[in-house]
Amino acid sequence: MTGHFGTGKNDYEVVREVLMGKANDVYVCRSCKEPAASRRTVWLVKDRRIAKSLMGNMGDLCEEIFMQGEKAGFVFPYVQERPLLRHYLGTIQGAGCIRRRIWLGLAAQCITSGIPDAVLNLMLNQGQVNIQADGTVWFGFFVDLSEYNHSACGQDNVTDCARLFMELIRLEYGAGQVSSFSAQAAVLLEKKLVRKEYHDGIQLYRDIKLISRLDEAREKKVSVLGKIAALKKFLASKQDRMYSILSCGCIVLVCIVIALAVGRLLFGTFSFWKLFGSPLERIGTESLLQ
């Protein structure tokens, strides 16, 4: 393979050889006409049966399909690879991404990506699930087609996706960072995998969604309880001061009551208020009350 090749519409320069396989080769390329343009992932498929199957199923995912001698070429978008299993822990730690959002994103991608089952099966099993720093999940195209299984179906993929979730849980346990969400998911996923209850991606998505809602409700409850505990702690720390203020207030009230009682005994009915009321009620021999 030379350092560049043409598709009929574009000429590409090979930037990197990713793999040279029995059924296909994979390259990272850039346009010779626009060197600054985004890079592309290019497959050159040698196996005619696989190539025929891909031509009938991958059209919507490819930017171009072309022939290079006896090989079928497929051009895909390229995004810098960031494997999920390698970057999962760093992502949930550093960026503060919520686990359930990552899991739901992956389950949704398996349902909505439009990738043929046989190719998706390879991506799930060859580490081609990638994650961005913000937790967004996408599939890469660095796929060795020598393991291409024409009979792979949706049930195979949902099972492999559930197993990938179990791998993420094992990573969390290994790092001592398992969450309540992951712990709940582990119980349910293991049970259903043993019983082979997953038949399509919707079932898995619904289970992850259910666990997410339960975990979110638990977080809200914990948050409320935490605020109550913080308030109790604050009040406890101010307890002595509050007692002092209340004690002083009680002493003042007692003094006022005693003063009123003594005033009533000494000055009669008007008692304390007479001291302030009398000078205003009469001036000399004239009453101001008339």
Whole-model pTM: value is 0.75
Same domain, 198 and 224: yes
Tell whether 290 is covered by a domain. no
Same domain, 169 and 215: yes
Same domain, 96 and 212: yes
Q: Which tokens belong to 74?
A: 């497929």
The answer to whether 50 touches 32, Cβ cutoff 8 Å, is no
Q: Closest Cα to residue 151, out of 75, 62, 49, 61?
A: 49
Q: Which tokens belong to 77?
A: 């978008």
Domain boundary residue among 77, 100, 132? 77
pLDDT in tens, 75-124: 999 989 999 999 999 988 865 568 889 999 999 999 999 999 999 999 99
The answer to whether 76 touches 45, Cβ cutoff 8 Å, is no
- DSSP class of residue 147? G
Domain count across the chain = 3
Same domain, 109 and 152: yes
Tell whether 202 is covered by a domain. yes
The answer to whether 154 touches 184, Cβ cutoff 8 Å, is no
Neighbour count for residue 117 (Cβ, 10 Å): 17
Same domain, 89 and 176: yes
Q: What residue spans of 177-281 are helical by DSSP H?
A: 180-195, 201-237, 239-267, 271-281
Name the amino acid, one letter, at 128.
Answer: Q
**What's the confidence (pLDDT) of residue 164?**
97
In the numeric block, the tokens 């996706």 are attached to 161
CA distances from 253 to 239, 258, 275 (A): 21, 9, 20
CA distances from 186 to 43, 127, 222 (A): 37, 21, 21
pLDDT in tens, 118-160: 999 999 999 999 999 889 999 999 999 999 999 999 999 999 9
C-alpha 194/C-alpha 168 separation (Å) is 18
CATH of the domain at 20: 3.30.200.20
C-alpha 74/C-alpha 68 separation (Å) is 10
Neighbour count for residue 28 (Cβ, 10 Å): 19
Domain coverage including residue 275: 239-284
**What's the confidence (pLDDT) of residue 122?**
97
Same domain, 139 and 13: no
Domain boundary residue among 30, 56, 77? 77
The dihedrals phi and psi of 195, each to the nearest 5 degrees, come to -85, -5
C-alpha 227/C-alpha 116 separation (Å) is 49
Burial of 285 (0-12, 13-18, 19+ CB in 10 A): exposed
Tell whether 156 is covered by a domain. yes
Tell whether 186 is covered by a domain. yes
**In this structure, is the dihedral angle defined by the CA atoms of residues 252, 258, 261 and 265, taken in order, positive or negative?**
negative
Q: Closest Cα to residue 42, out of 52, 50, 34, 31?
A: 31
Tell whether 200 is covered by a domain. yes
Same domain, 110 and 216: yes
Residue 240 scores a pLDDT above 90:
no
pLDDT in tens, 145-200: 999 999 999 999 999 999 999 999 999 999 998 888 889 999 999 999 999 999 99
Same domain, 121 and 216: yes
Same domain, 66 and 103: no
Same domain, 24 and 70: yes
Same domain, 56 and 168: no
Name the amino acid, one letter, at 189.
Answer: L
Same domain, 261 and 149: no
Domain boundary residue among 62, 77, 92? 77
**What's the confidence (pLDDT) of residue 59?**
74
Residue 270 scores a pLDDT above 50:
no
